[in-house]
Amino acid sequence: MAEIVAILQIIASFSPLAVIALLSVIILLQVKGRKEVGSLKENDLHQLPLILETLQRIEVSLSDNFSYIRARINGR
């Protein structure tokens, strides 16, 4: 546990840009070390139509609410 605290103290002394660079290197090493790429079944792409439908409903709802707000601001 003391090692983790020491590492976190060292990272806290870095600049924000250095922390971002360090995290980028860690992510790159994690991705590079991966041996196999998952198939489409494992990526849950079958839910994209449901996500699209949900986003369209949210868009329509926000549009209606925005129209109401604009009408209230214009005095109607």
pLDDT tens sequence across 12-59: 788 888 888 888 888 888 887 776 656 555 666 677 888 899 999 999
* Strand segments (E) across the chain: none
Do 11 and 22 touch, CB atoms closer than 8 A? yes
pLDDT for 40 equals 52
Do 38 and 45 touch, CB atoms closer than 8 A? no
How far apart, in whole angstroms, are the C-alpha atoms of residue 50 and residue 73? 35
Domain boundaries, the chain: 1-35, 39-76
How far apart, in whole angstroms, are the C-alpha atoms of residue 76 and residue 71? 5
